[in-house]
Chains A and B, each alone.
Chain A
């Protein structure tokens, strides 16, 4: 049973909004401080003939978390009682760090990861907020991060690369 954006499953109804809310509770497997919705990789959720179509854009091409992310989405939606789920991969337009939500950026910083900046480097140290910084390496512990260091508190930190 399908009416607009709400579908009836057994004795209850489920809106697309509730589905987005559930997806917003699924943490990114590599940076659990933010959700898949915060990361901006869920591009669309819609019903198509009783099947829930979820469109996902990959972050980095070779990101090993991609298959884990698919599993986590299917698990979360299956727990909501959705019987048929179709995950679609969307390459174009390519995912950009501009799609990370404001709340996601805040959560990254609270977690100790400097959020991406168009200038190509972190704005300030996520620990002490000092602005005297130096890059240690263009790459880091995951494909999406680089390593920087704060010259004031001397702590190294991850920077979420801007792409």
Chain B
């Protein structure tokens, strides 16, 4: 393995929050109601704040002079370590909310575990972020229930979103060499150790939402290792990075 595993872990955390924040901010001005528009923008803002903390620490750990902005704006697709779920298109509002809930449910568990990290800087970022992320999950789960158990139309759209997105969930819980080293060092949990708590979190919500969780073990992968992102990330990055690509390190 070429890179420092701690650096990899921090990129995985920061790239997940960065890319999801970028996706959510694409809703700004297009939300179905003003309140939903504001909510998505606020969640994007919280996640951007977490990105600054995770990627800021990644830059410190790397020690090559890159800060959070340097990492966010001056890397290309193959250097990103976000899961495939967060780079998936927004789709309709229901699909965005389903993606958000699935992410939040993992995110809360991951941060709860990282609060106990042997690395104090990791622990304090997790302790800070979890307050906001718990609030995200509260809202996304309520909205999944509201839309799933809503009209025939909203129910059908939520079921379609769940069928589409569930195969992207497995990647969050698949262990690899980086995870093994992080677990050994007491820095982060093994991803698969969070799976049963995740299922316990989503099962009652999907039931209340009258949605059927597809019975499949199939899991897309390649995002968190950087081996194979979906084509979508290649479209997100130029939109996010064009200014820094055209005018490197511009400030105003």
List residues of chain A with CB under 8 Å of any chain B CB.
58, 60-64, 91-94, 136-141, 143, 147, 161, 163
Contacts and interface: CB of A to CB of B under 8 A. Distances in A.
A91 B49 contact: no
Interface of B: 35-36, 38-39, 42-43, 45-50, 52-53, 120, 123-125, 127-129, 131-132, 135, 138-139
A63 B38 contact: no
Contacts of A140: 38, 42
Given A61-B49, A62-B45, 18 more contacts: A58-B49, A58-B128, A60-B49, A60-B132, A61-B50, A91-B125, A91-B127, A92-B120, A92-B127, A136-B35, A137-B35, A138-B135, A138-B138, A141-B38, A143-B46, A147-B35, A161-B135, A163-B131
Given A60-B49, A61-B129, A92-B127, A143 B35 contact: no
B192 to A, nearest CB: 28
Contacts of A64: 45
Contacts of B135: 138, 161, 163
A95 B148 CA distance: 35
B127 A60 contact: no
Contacts of B53: 61, 91
A50 B176 CA distance: 50
Contacts of B131: 94, 163
Nearest to B121: A91
A137 B132 contact: no
A136 B129 CA distance: 24
A137 B39 contact: yes
Contacts of B48: 62
B132 A163 contact: yes
Contact of B127 (A62, A94, A138): A94
Given A91-B128, A94-B127, A143 B50 contact: no
Contacts of B49: 58, 60-63
A147 B39 CA distance: 11
A137 B41 CA distance: 13
A49 B42 CA distance: 41
Nearest to B38: A139
Contacts of A61: 46, 49-50, 52-53, 128-129, 132
Contacts of B43: 139
Contacts of B36: 137
Contact of B47 (A58, A62, A161): A62
A139 B39 CA distance: 5
A140 B49 CA distance: 17
Contacts of B35: 136-137, 139, 147
Nearest to A92: B124
22 contacts: A58-B49, A60-B45, A60-B132, A61-B49, A61-B52, A61-B53, A61-B132, A62-B48, A63-B45, A63-B49, A64-B45, A91-B128, A92-B124, A92-B127, A93-B127, A94-B127, A136-B35, A138-B135, A138-B138, A143-B45, A147-B35, A161-B135
